[in-house]
């Protein structure tokens, strides 16, 4: 166990990386390959927890089609340099070298065949091969810039991170201040602490606090790639349909995604909703085209002419199915929509329904306007939108504009990727360009 040492005895590293997640480990192995002495510190009891839980346990580790358009942030140009210097095939090459079986799913997404553990093992093996030290269960108490040391620019003070059991024991003890403290010094300090999503997996605001300590600006953070929640009647209707999944076009004024929608007990989820959440702000309306391949207004008006005695549900019966056909809606959904949208005219023949009403109904089926009350928040969000303002960080090296030797990589920065392996690609790319210079 490390004991307290005086400042001059602080163990010295070329590079200390705070955060043994995706970007931190990639940066560590890159710097280690250059012969740098690297220490990775993490308060969690395990490295790469988010890697392990990603992609439903199979880790969507990158995407064949990575472009800056797949990322959002206050400076859309920031990600370009790192992404072009570290394209996805570089990571795929490493995966292949390690003989990790993988497969492509739709939209170029790459997943492990077996387990996300394969990716984590690969990163840890690569780190170990170049002498990177990973120290877990380590709480960072303070970080200070130092000036009178030729080799070191930063001094860190750490204590052992306590488990829940340890914390209780500590509370029970009369003397609560006697935890062994360790200090480290380093030339380069890399902050790779990720975002705020899933606090139970080790997420914390330390990265943001350190950025502020060194005068950086934060762009407001929010849960993203996250399901929407609804209250009132719409909430009830959605919850009653839990389990139904249909292909839709989900959109707002900024963007549109043709992807599946999933009704859940908490609201609306599925890839279309997660993607749209990256572009959504509280109070805004979203639009869902339930039958993306059919012009429902034209269809209803045509049927009024050709079959004036028909009811709306008879017209829609041809577009009802329990399968995964984008031209059809599950019966249960149609029944619920009828109750919600055209209950008053459900027994009325088409001939007796005004054109305006049919147009309104057609437009609703092709663009259901919904106002989410919110999202499920950081508890289930895959990422955190916002973060450290990228205008104050070098896009080539990830170094702070304000403090020599201080770097920020991965999700802690104001760079958020789409669903589909883009967030890991950003972690690898930003970790790589930083690891090349620290
Ligand atoms: P990351 O979160 O990986 O690592 C941060 C590290 O810092 C953690 O180890 C943490 O313990 C440590 N840390 C935090 N605070 C600390 C402190 N105070 N002291 C010390 N250490 C501290 N992306 C993708 O591309 N494909 C996918 O399939 C998925 N799937 C997915 C599923 C789920 C459920 C989630 C929550 C997220 C995803 N993601 C994803 C997103 C992806 O996991 C995420 O963008 C990257 O892990 C970000 O990498 P970072 O290195 O920035 O942070």
Which of 18, 25, 54 to probe ligand 1 with, by most ligand atoms within 8 A of CB? 54
- Produce one character per residue of 49-81: b if its CB has 16 or more CB atoms within 10 Å, e if not: bbbbebbeebbbbbbeebeeebbbbebeebbeb
Q: How far is the CA of 46 from the centre of ligand 1 (A)?
A: 12
Ligand 1 atom index nearest CA of 431: 51
Interval 312-336 mean pLDDT: 79
What residue ranges do the domains of the chain occupy? 2-222+385-435, 228-375
Q: How far is the CA of 323 from the centre of ligand 1 (A)?
A: 36
| ipTM over cut 0.90 | yes
Taking only the tens place, the pLDDT of each residue in 342-401 is 999 999 999 999 999 999 999 999 999 999 999 999 999 999 999 999 999 999 999 999
- Produce one character per residue of 119-141: b if its CB has 16 or more CB atoms within 10 Å, e if not: bbebbbebbeebebbbebbbbbe
Taking only the tens place, the pLDDT of each residue in 406-427 is 999 999 999 999 999 999 999 9
Q: How far is the CA of 51 from the centre of ligand 1 (A)?
A: 7
Taking only the tens place, the pLDDT of each residue in 151-183 is 899 999 999 876 666 666 656 655 445 556 789
Ligand 1 atom index nearest CA of 427: 49
Q: Coil, strand, or helix at residue 3?
A: coil
pLDDT at 1: 35
Q: How far is the CA of 230 from the centre of ligand 1 (A)?
A: 27
Q: Among 204, 40, 256, 220, which residue's Cα sits nearest to residue 134? A: 40
Q: Say what the pTM is.
A: 0.94
Q: How far is the CA of 283 from the centre of ligand 1 (A)?
A: 28
pLDDT at 2: 39
Beta partners for residue 399, in sequence order: 407
Q: Coil, strand, or helix at residue 93?
A: helix
Q: How far is the CA of 134 from the centre of ligand 1 (A)?
A: 16
Which overall architecture, per CATH, does domain 2-222+385-435 show?
3-Layer(bba) Sandwich (3.50)
What is the fold of 228-375?
Elongation Factor Tu (Ef-tu); domain 3 (2.40.30)
Pocket of ligand 1 (CB under 6 A): 18-24, 42-44, 49-50, 53-55, 59-60, 140, 192-194, 197-198, 202-204, 206, 382-383, 410-412, 421-424, 427
Catalogue the E-assigned strands of 60-205: 60-63, 71-72, 102-105, 109-112, 133-135, 138-145, 154-160, 181-191
């Amino acid at each position: 166990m490390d004991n307290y040492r005086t400042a001059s005895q602080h163990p010295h590293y070329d590079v200390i990386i705070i955060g043994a997640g995706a970007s931190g480990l990639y940066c560590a192995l890159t710097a280690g390959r250059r012969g740098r002495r690297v220490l990775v510190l993490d308060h969690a009891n395990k490295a790469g927890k988010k890697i392990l839980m990603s992609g439903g346990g199979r880790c969507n580790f990158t995407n064949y089609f990575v472009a800056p358009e797949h990322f959002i942030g206050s400076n859309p140009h920031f990600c370009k340099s790192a992404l072009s210097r570290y394209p996805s095939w570089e990571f795929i090459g490493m995966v292949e070298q390690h003989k990790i079986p993988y497969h492509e799913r739709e939209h170029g997404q790459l997943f492990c065949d077996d387990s996300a553990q394969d990716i984590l093992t690969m990163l840890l093996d690569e780190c170990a091969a170049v002498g990177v030290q990973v120290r877990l269960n380590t709480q960072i108490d303070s970080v200070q810039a130092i000036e009178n040391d030729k080799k070191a620019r930063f001094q860190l003070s750490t204590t052992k991170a306590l488990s829940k059991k340890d914390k209780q024991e500590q509370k029970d003890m009369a003397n609560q201040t006697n935890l062994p403290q360790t200090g480290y010094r380093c030339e380069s300090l890399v902050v790779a602490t990720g975002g705020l999503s899933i606090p139970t997996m080790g997420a914390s605001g330390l990265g943001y606090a350190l950025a502020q300590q060194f005068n950086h600006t934060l762009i407001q953070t929010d849960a993203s790639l996250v399901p929407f929640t609804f209250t009132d009647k719409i909430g009830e209707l959605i919850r009653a349909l839990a389990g139904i999944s249909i292909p839709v076009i989900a959109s707002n004024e900024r963007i549109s995604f043709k992807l599946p929608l999933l009704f859940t007990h908490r609201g609306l989820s599925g890839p279309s909703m997660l993607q749209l959440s990256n572009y959504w702000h509280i109070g805004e309306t979203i639009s869902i085209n339930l039958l993306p391949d059919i012009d429902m207004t034209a269809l209803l008006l045509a049927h009024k002419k050709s079959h004036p005695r028909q009811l709306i549900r008879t017209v829609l019966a041809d577009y009802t199915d329990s399968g995964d056909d984008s031209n059809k809606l599950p019966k249960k959904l149609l029944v619920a929509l009828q109750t919600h949208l055209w209950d008053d005219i459900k027994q009325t023949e088409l001939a007796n329904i005004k054109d305006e009403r049919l147009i309104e109904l057609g437009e609703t089926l092709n663009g259901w306007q919904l106002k989410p009350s919110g999202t499920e928040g950081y508890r289930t969000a895959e990422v955190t939108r916002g973060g450290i303002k990228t205008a104050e960080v070098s896009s080539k090296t990830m170094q702070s504009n304000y403090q020599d030797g201080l770097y920020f990589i991965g999700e802690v920065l104001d760079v958020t990727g789409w669903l589909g392996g883009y967030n890991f690609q950003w972690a690898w790319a930003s970790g790589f360009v930083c690891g090349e210079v620290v």
